[in-house]
Structure 1
Amino acid sequence: MKCYVINLEGSSDRLRWFTEQEPLSGIEILRVPAINGSHLEQEERMTLMERRRSDYPVPAGVLGCFLSHRRAWEWVSDNEDQWAFVTEDDAHIFKDAKMFFESTDWIPDDADIVKAETSQEVTELSARSMPAKGTFRLRKLKAAHRNTAGYFIGRDTARRLLHLTASYCDPIDEVLFNPDLGISSNLMIYQLDPAICIQDNDAPGRIGFEQTIIRKQEPEPRTPMPFGIKKVVREIRRIYRRKIRPRFLQRLQISLFKKVPFAGDP
């Protein structure tokens, strides 16, 4: 299985660090040149912004990240391999994760994507799981689970996503892993539990890389706070989503609500 790593021009130190990780030894790594959103012409940016389907802010860095992952999908779709691993150059790969790259026999037949990363935020997973490799399990991902530092994707799925996102321009992690945007709800997405991948910012052995494609200093527009009846409705929905619904589904043993651990956590 090939590994497609998204890397911005001029970030050779990050690429070198990424490729020297032990689990990737012997794995074919292809550098996908990242797209710098701040280098796009204003007219092109405005055209892309008209494709937004959500209220999430899309500053230049987020736009570049979206386009960079679509470029990676193009590369995957043009390759003969049935499965590929798409990642970003600040991803920490679990030291014993090589077995997941050496074969695809652990990937379910109905899978479109297997999310290999954790954002370490609570998400909704299927209560039932199936074996992957070793002690790792696979669970169906049923709610938003953000970040796109590492995921296995089928070649046919990459082609399908290129078609589905041709008229989109939203944060890539929301597009892929948030059913509310309408794309991932049409895909079969599994989550590795525990995860074998984590972004440097959340990693236990953090290097301290600065964000490149998405820069922290980029201003993001603030969403006006609701008031009156809108605020009441929002609070009721929030309590239902975070408290009532999870308890009900867990009692029925339908869903599991938890933070997916990183396999490399101490």
Structure 2
Amino acid sequence: MTLPVFVINLDRRPDRWAAMLAQLDRLGIRAARIAAVDARLLAAQEERERETNNDDLSLGEVACVWSHRKALRAFLDTGERAALILEDDVELAPDTPSLLESVDWWPPDAGVIRVETGNISPAKWCLLWPASAETPSGRRVHRFERWTPGSAAYLVNREAAAFALPHFDNPAMPMDTLLFDHRRSRLARELRALQIVPGAARQTEDGDTSDLAGWRPRGPRHTKWGKHNKKSLLYRARLIALRCTGKVKKQRQGVYYRPAP
């Protein structure tokens, strides 16, 4: 069994699709293209706000969530047990094909496994639970407690995809926050995603200006993250307690990328 692969790509970026095809061909991976939702083609800002009832997100962030929704729907239509979802600006490690051979190496309760490295600055860090499995090539699989941004490469099974889809219809937060931020996202707390360490994928330098989530409408952008202050304090207290008891370990510089395990 080889898991299907879906690559999210904007129609106006055939260059990125060509680059992804070349990379996947070198790795011997076949993939299906998912036409990304283009923020520039969405309805006017006022119409989008009426539909989502949320002014926290840019049009690009909404388009990114809806693009991943299209990818998950395409995966569920295949009838396969799991799939790899990619954005078109990701660099894959040479052992990526081994991740697609089966799901036998997955921990029993795994629904989402992030393949990419967290896209964070070296000054930040993440908290990882002890490894619960290994990939076929020897990378460790951890549950993470403190999230790191990024949703450009992840494995997902049918149950998790079906459970997550309703949360994508009316997004209240960006895609990576929705899937991986335990503090802000109820979906993330339910899914309890796992992380491959070291990461087997990373967004390229061009990904710093992602076409999926980076485009923003002109004018002021409002935010409501302040309402999470109380939750933030409780979350920080939880992290401190977990570290003091030794249940999770601090890993500086996030989850680093390495071409080989």
TM-score, with normalisation over the residues of structure 2? 0.82
Kept in 2, the 8 Å contact 1:77–1:156? The answer is: no
Deviation of 1:248 (Å): 4.9
Amino acid of the structure 2 residue aligned with 1:182: R
Residue by residue over 1:186-216, the C-alpha shift from the partner in whole angstroms, topping out at 9 and shown as x without a partner, is: 1131100111011113xxxxx6785322336
> Which residue of 1 is the match for residue 48 of structure 2?
45
Change (3 A) 1:22 1:159: closer
Structure 2 residue matching 1:144: 3-state secondary structure: coil
Identity value in percent: 25
Matched, 1:131 2:130: no
**Residue 247 (structure 2) aligned to one of 225, 246, 254:** 254
Q: For this pair of structures, how many residues does the alignment match?
A: 247
Change (3 A) 1:59 1:160: same
Deviation of 1:71 (Å): 0.8
Deviation of 1:119 (Å): 2.0
The equivalences for 1:7-86 within 5 A come to 7-21=9-23, 25-42=27-44, 44-50=47-53, 52=54, 57-86=56-85
Task: Name stretches of at least 5 consecutive residues in structure 1 with no aligned partner.
Answer: 202-206
Kept in 1, the 8 Å contact 2:27–2:94? The answer is: no
Structure 1 residue matching 2:100: 3-state secondary structure: helix
Amino acid of the structure 2 residue aligned with 1:173: D
The equivalences for 1:92-131 within 5 A come to 92-121=91-120, 122-131=125-134
Task: Name stretches of at least 5 consecutive residues in structure 2 with no aligned partner.
Answer: none
TM-score, with normalisation over the residues of structure 1? 0.81
Kept in 1, the 8 Å contact 2:131–2:140? The answer is: no
> Which residue of 2 is the match for residue 156 of structure 1?
159
Change (3 A) 1:24 1:181: farther
Amino acid of the structure 2 residue aligned with 1:136: R
Deviation of 1:151 (Å): 0.2
Structure 2 residue matching 1:109: 3-state secondary structure: coil
Identify which range, 120-129 or 168-177, moves more after superposition.
120-129
> Which residue of 2 is the match for residue 200 of structure 1?
204
Kept in 2, the 8 Å contact 1:124–1:141? The answer is: yes
Amino acid of the structure 2 residue aligned with 1:94: A
> Which residue of 2 is the match for residue 172 of structure 1?
175
Change (3 A) 1:250 1:127: farther
Residue by residue over 1:74-118, the C-alpha shift from the partner in whole angstroms, topping out at 9 and shown as x without a partner, is: 111111110000010000001222211222221122111001111
